[in-house]
Amino acid sequence: MEKMEGSFAVEDMQNVQINIGAIVKEVEEWDQPMGPFPYPSIATLRDWDFKIMQRYKIMYSPICDRCTLCTYGPCDLTGDKRGACGIDQAAQQGRIVLIACLMGATAHCAHGRHLYHWCLEKFGDLPINMGDEILVDAPITRTIAGIKPKTLKDFGPVLSYFEEQVSQLLACTHTGQEGNYKDFESKALHASMLDHLGMEASDIIQMIAYDMPRGDENAPLVECGMGTLDKNKAILITYGHNLAASSEAMFYTEDNNLWDKVDIGGVCCTAHDNTRIGEGLGYPKEISEKYKDVGTKAKVAGAIGWWRKMVRGDVMDCVMVDEQCVWTDALAECSKLKVPIIATSEKIMLGLPDRTNDPVEEIVDDLVNFRMPGVAVLDPAKAGEVGVRTAIAVKPKRAAEREADPFLSEEDFKKYAESCTYCHACQFVCPPHIKIGDVVRAAAEGNYEPLSSTYEVCVGCRRCEQACPQDIPILSLYAYANKEYIRDHKFKMRAGRGPVKDTEIRRVGAPIVLGTIPGIIALVGCGNYPNGTKEAYDMAKEFVDRGFIVAASGCMAMDMSLYGDEEGKTIWEQYPGAVDGRNICNMGSCVANSHISGATIKIATIFAGRNERANFDDMADYTLSKIGACGVAWGAYSQKAASIATGCNRMGIPVVVQPHSVMYRRSYVGRTDKKEDWEIIDARDGSKVYCEPAPEHMLYIAETKEEAMLMMAKLCFRPSDNNQGRMIKLTHYCDISMKYFGCMPPDWHIYVRHASDLPLKWKEDMMKELETKHGWEIDWKRKAILSGPIRKMDVSFDPTNIERKIRVKK
Amino acid sequence: MAVDTTKNAVPFEMAQIPGPEMAKAYNTKVIGAILKKAKRPLLVVGAELFEDPVMFDKAIEIGKMGVPIAATAHTIKGFIERGYTENVHMIGLHPLTSYLRFKDWQGLDGEGHYDVVIFMGIFYKFASAMFSTLKNFNRDIKRVSIDRYYHVNADMTFGNLAFNPDQYHEAVDEVIAAMAK
């Protein structure tokens, strides 16, 4: 049956409404049979979740011991107390975790929903063409929804499914609904799986509509850093995650040949997406003909942690905010420096007047003459024009304002620095514990070095200023003392490449599953680092150098761009950008994280020939048992980071987070002293066998980058690793430990199954230790292990956690 | 004169107000006496020791009194550099706390669970959250902080001494002296 379009008349009928649902094509072009779980509901994958939670014990760290959500409260839930509704501490924490994951998931999906409507309106329905090297496109959509989207409109039902699920899930958090912590967690895992679905839909929609790179390892190097913004031009900053309005600003600039008058710099993920526009396959024509490579003209001003530093550093003339990660005092911050702000999304209107229907000239005139500090313009095209024209026109006005009354003069700087009473109220609230009192006192004495050396450690939260009884604008002191730093802040970042190509999966699938590529490390997330942005670079460099596949995205990708080697080359210039060992790829913005989890599905389906269609637990089981991948969110701050990590966890990917991440309240931690937790099925015959704890944890909080790196290497072990892979992984695990800890890790031996697993450089010593310390039986003549390992070497071992994967039952 | 460790008992991150049950700040003699009385104490040290290396020596002093040490993050390196690894165990604070919350765990040496944990030199927010886990999910363990911060989720803690390193060092010395008595 062909799909029919058009209209028909029903004579003699009045007031009749006919609703026709989706017309399903009779001929199905996808030859994969439908899997067991199309469009899974809340409880569909509960068994899988409970398997994860059996092995990885839910650990809660309550930040608040009370519940204050209903009128019976506040209820004290400390210890074994229960609230008036009967809820206990664990369930309450699970509830908060679910709410956080829903916040994150809906942020991404609502972003996708907006793009869906906007792109259909602007470009019409477009075929999803990912190029010749990506035939397994939308792997998460295929796995969860069981459909293979062919055009943008096919994401409509996918987004509707998401919206229904989150509505049901949010309902579960009401008082008198769910009351068991494990079920809250299962729901959080469900919400977070949906987050990855929403992210994938969002990124594919924008990739197709704006002709972004589709798996391009040679995506262009773009300019990154505050210093790249040309002060001779007007500077328009686009801040947030949704490119709808910022792309229009770029198109307006291109159409009117204004690039010599305005620089457009992005903050947070809008920065990524600006720099991806027009760099794809040359489709759709509207983009490729008029705006080819226009993305390379935009600049990455910086990651979220730099936002307030940029404002105080006076690097911008006008700001357009869209959605997500926009600090809610943006208007107040910008107003102080006479930077007009344009809110472009219904999600963030900042109390500004809605001027969507007013003429552009009038809006610009009001902003340029400071009659109002900002406006809301909800039509992206109009907002883009307003942004560019305002930036250009306001620049000289701002210069005049600055001339008349400098935002911070040398005299002001001294006065403020000298007014510090060394009370340490600032240090009480500083997340990375900067000794701000010492820093300001040194500045008062004319020594700006501490203001410089701690500039990258400062996360720009402004809590210090609020705590200061003297009202010292500490961030402004930082900006004043770091003028040269800001001017020289010039780097290169590879534009987001988009998804992993099928050809890349064919190349790396076997080495990853066998372990000879030691792992995939995904460095994702925000800018709340415990010890400065440099750690983003250090971690990436350590693992690329070791031959891991390193994937980056979001603000962490931007922050690792700010450093270079001896020759000044950034990490993107030092290494190629393919999905391969000793490569580093920038996947793109926050929503491009879906390509990392999607890549694990692609390994299962392309390399191992598994059917992904509506088959989530199978894909997750394959990932958990065979794909040595580890996510790292070292600057994680947001609820989106919580849902991304939790979604990875449901997919079988462990994640390491930074110490501030205790604010997420929940982690998943394994117990190596419980042998029974590590029982696994051999799919060959269904026998249950014990395995080493691999991966040992599912969501791990590290105190320092050194600990994080050791754990990243460790969490890449998988039950399926062969001898060579095991040896390579052990080499890195032990080598990182020796390098940063000064000793071998205490548990290296549990990953050994055979003497050939032992790294050659330590083999002799290790065998001695196995014999003397751990009581293993060694045949020294043959240099063989006779007994001791948790599991012996077995090259055809086929680990699984799902009974239906058993091939021949005993 | 003994350092007054009961002063300035406000959470180091001021918004860290968990609920009705908040730590008491004790003087060094009382804390020392409690630690001395402990049957299975565990000293847990973190990476802030690297910022104040003298604290490694104080940890070793406590270790030499028979208190096993959990060296979290990469602090084992500091002990190796000082030639003291006798009863020092390398483990992350996160998995350690996870084990501590289970009553059937047999400890780092397999000899049984701990009755008192003593935190020192750990990133404040992280330590506070780990204390919170124990406070809510294993109340059999006494939670003691001899860190430079007032730790709201501990049972016993110093008040804030973060801005007076000399006083803080002296306070820890007093605890050690009280343990030795």
* Token duo for residue B164: 């007076």
| Secondary structure letter of residue A256 according to DSSP | T
Asked if A61 and B47 come within 8 Å (Cβ–Cβ), the reply is no
Q: List all residues of chain A from 119 to 178 with a beta carbon under 8 Å from chain B.
A: none
Give me the sign of the Cα torsion angle B159, A702, A587, A620.
negative
Q: List all residues of chain A from 452 to 481 with a beta carbon under 8 Å from chain B.
A: 467
A775 inside 8 A of chain B by CB: no
Nearest C-alpha of chain A: how many angstroms from B181? Answer: 34
Residues A276 and A213 sit within 8 Å (Cβ to Cβ): yes
Chain B neighbors of A75, CB-CB under 8 A: none
Q: Which residue has the tokens 């770091």?
A: A482
Q: What local confidence, expressed as pLDDT, does residue A335 receive?
A: 97
Q: What local confidence, expressed as pLDDT, does residue A809 receive?
A: 65
Assessment of whether the complete model's pTM goes beyond 0.90? yes
Q: Which helix (H) or strand (E) holds A143?
A: helix A139-145
Give A36-41 contacts, CB < 8 A, sequence gap 24+. A36/A614, A36/A615, A37/A146, A37/A614, A37/A615, A37/A616, A37/A617, A38/A145, A38/A146, A38/A147, A38/A613, A38/A614, A39/A144, A39/A145, A39/A146, A39/A161, A39/A614, A40/A144, A40/A190, A40/A616, A41/A165, A41/A168
Return all residues near A228 (Cβ < 8 A) that are at least 6 apart. Answer: A265, A299, A300, A301, A489, A490, A491
Q: Give the integer Cα–Cα distance in Å for B146 and B159.
A: 10
Q: Give the integer Cα–Cα distance in Å for A534 and A630.
A: 20
Asked if B92 and A65 come within 8 Å (Cβ–Cβ), the reply is no
Q: Which residue has the tokens 């290497």?
A: A713
A65, A700, A741 ranked by CB distance to B18: nearest: A65
Q: List all residues of chain A from 661 to 700 with a beta carbon under 8 Å from chain B.
A: 662-663, 665, 667, 669-671, 673, 697, 700
Which of B17, B79, B90, B94 has the highest number of chain A CBs within 10 A, making it the mutation to test binding with A? B94
- Find the closest chain A residue to B101 by CA distance: A59
Chain A neighbors of B125, CB-CB under 8 A: 431, 659-660, 662-663
Asked if B73 and A437 come within 8 Å (Cβ–Cβ), the reply is no
Nearest C-alpha of chain A: how many angstroms from B76? Answer: 6
Question: Is the residue at B37 inside a domain?
Answer: no
- DSSP secondary structure string, A160-222? HHHHHHHHHHHHTTSTTS---HHHHHHHHHHHHHHHHHHHHHHHHHHHHHTT--SS-TTPPEE
Give me the sign of the Cα torsion angle A270, A275, A278, A280.
negative
Q: If DSSP codes are grouped into helix, strand and coil, which group holds residue A802? A: coil
Asked if A702 and B92 come within 8 Å (Cβ–Cβ), the reply is yes
Question: Is the residue at B134 inside a domain?
Answer: yes
Question: Is the residue at B26 inside a domain?
Answer: no
| ipTM field | 0.98
Question: Chain-centre distance of CA A745, in angstroms?
Answer: 29
* Mean pLDDT, 10 residues at a time, chain A of 810 residues: 47 52 53 96 98 98 97 97 98 98 98 98 97 96 97 98 98 98 98 98 98 98 98 98 98 98 98 98 92 98 97 97 98 97 98 98 98 98 98 97 90 97 95 96 97 97 96 97 97 98 96 92 95 97 98 98 96 98 97 98 96 98 98 97 98 98 98 97 96 97 98 97 95 98 98 97 97 97 96 92 88
- Find the closest chain A residue to B77 by CA distance: A741
- Find the closest chain A residue to B45 by CA distance: A703
* Token duo for residue A284: 């759709």
Give A176-183 contacts, CB < 8 A, sequence gap 24+. A176/A85, A178/A91, A178/A95, A179/A86, A179/A87, A179/A91, A180/A91, A180/A94, A181/A58, A181/A60, A181/A88, A181/A90, A181/A91, A181/A93, A181/A94, A182/A49, A182/A50, A182/A53, A182/A58, A182/A94, A183/A46, A183/A94
Q: Give the integer Cα–Cα distance in Å for A208 and A298.
A: 19
Q: Which residue has the tokens 């042998």?
A: A675
Q: List all residues of chain B from 79 to 108 with a beta carbon under 8 Å from chain A.
A: 80-81, 89-95, 97-99, 101-102, 105-106
In one-letter notation, the amino acid at residue A771 is: E
Question: Is the residue at B63 inside a domain?
Answer: yes
Percentage of chain B beyond pLDDT 90 is: 96
Asked if B92 and A66 come within 8 Å (Cβ–Cβ), the reply is no
Asked if A662 and B13 come within 8 Å (Cβ–Cβ), the reply is no
* Token duo for residue A522: 């995904």
Q: What local confidence, expressed as pLDDT, does residue A515 receive?
A: 86
Q: Are strands A583-588 and A549-553 parallel, antiparallel or unpaired?
A: parallel
Q: Give the integer Cα–Cα distance in Å for B75 and B171.
A: 22
A78, A670, A741 ranked by CB distance to B21: nearest: A78
Asked if A66 and B106 come within 8 Å (Cβ–Cβ), the reply is no
Chain B neighbors of A741, CB-CB under 8 A: 74, 76-77, 90
CATH code (residue B86): 3.40.50.1220
Chain B neighbors of A424, CB-CB under 8 A: 162-163
Q: Are strands A666-670 and A655-657 parallel, antiparallel or unpaired?
A: unpaired
Nearest C-alpha of chain A: how many angstroms from B137? Answer: 6
Q: What local confidence, expressed as pLDDT, does residue A26 receive?
A: 41
State phi, psi for A320 to the nearest 5 degrees: -115, 125
Residues A712 and A677 sit within 8 Å (Cβ to Cβ): no
Asked if A437 and B90 come within 8 Å (Cβ–Cβ), the reply is no
Number of Cβ within a 10 Å radius of residue B78: 23
Residues A108 and A198 sit within 8 Å (Cβ to Cβ): yes
* A:B CB pairs within 8 Å: 142
- Structural domain span for residue B51: 42-180
C-alpha closest to that of A318 among A256, A241, A370: A370
Asked if B47 and A667 come within 8 Å (Cβ–Cβ), the reply is no
Nearest C-alpha of chain B: how many angstroms from A438? Answer: 10
Which of B13, B74, B84, B155 has the highest number of chain A CBs within 10 A, making it the mutation to test binding with A? B74
Asked if B74 and A706 come within 8 Å (Cβ–Cβ), the reply is yes
Q: Give the integer Cα–Cα distance in Å for A554 and A591.
A: 8
Q: What is the pLDDT of residues B37-84, one digit of tens each?
A: 999 999 999 999 999 999 999 999 999 999 999 999 999 999 999 999
Q: List all residues of chain B from 120 to 179 with a beta carbon under 8 Å from chain A.
A: 122-126, 128-130, 132-133, 135-137, 139, 160, 162-163
A424 inside 8 A of chain B by CB: yes
Residues B8 and A424 sit within 8 Å (Cβ to Cβ): no
Nearest C-alpha of chain B: how many angstroms from A552? Answer: 24
- Coarse DSSP helix, strand, coil percentages of chain B, rounded to the nearest 5 percent: 40, 15, 50
Q: List all residues of chain B from 23 to 42 with a beta carbon under 8 Å from chain A.
A: none
Neighbouring-strand partners of residue A681: A688, A800
Number of Cβ within a 10 Å radius of residue A325: 25
Q: List all residues of chain A from 735 to 754 with a beta carbon under 8 Å from chain B.
A: 740-743, 745-746
Asked if B136 and A659 come within 8 Å (Cβ–Cβ), the reply is no
Question: Is the residue at B8 inside a domain?
Answer: no
A64, A659, A703 ranked by CB distance to B19: nearest: A64
Asked if B126 and A701 come within 8 Å (Cβ–Cβ), the reply is yes
Chain B neighbors of A662, CB-CB under 8 A: 125-126, 128-130
Buried (b) or exposed (e) across B111-133, using 16+ Cβ within 10 A?
Answer: eebbebbbbbbbbbbbbbbbbbb
B73, B102, B106 ranked by CB distance to A706: nearest: B73
Beta-sheet strands, E only, within A549-705: 549-553, 583-588, 629-633, 655-657, 666-670, 679-682, 687-690, 699-701
Chain B neighbors of A670, CB-CB under 8 A: 95
Q: If DSSP codes are grouped into helix, strand and coil, which group holds residue A541? A: helix
Asked if A429 and B13 come within 8 Å (Cβ–Cβ), the reply is yes
Asked if B137 and A89 come within 8 Å (Cβ–Cβ), the reply is yes
Question: Is the residue at B117 inside a domain?
Answer: yes
Number of Cβ within a 10 Å radius of residue B37: 12
A59, A670, A741 ranked by CB distance to B90: nearest: A741
How many domains in chain B?
1
Return all residues near A54 (Cβ < 8 A) that are at least 6 apart. Answer: A677
Q: What is the pLDDT of residues B97-110, one digit of tens each?
A: 999 999 999 999 99
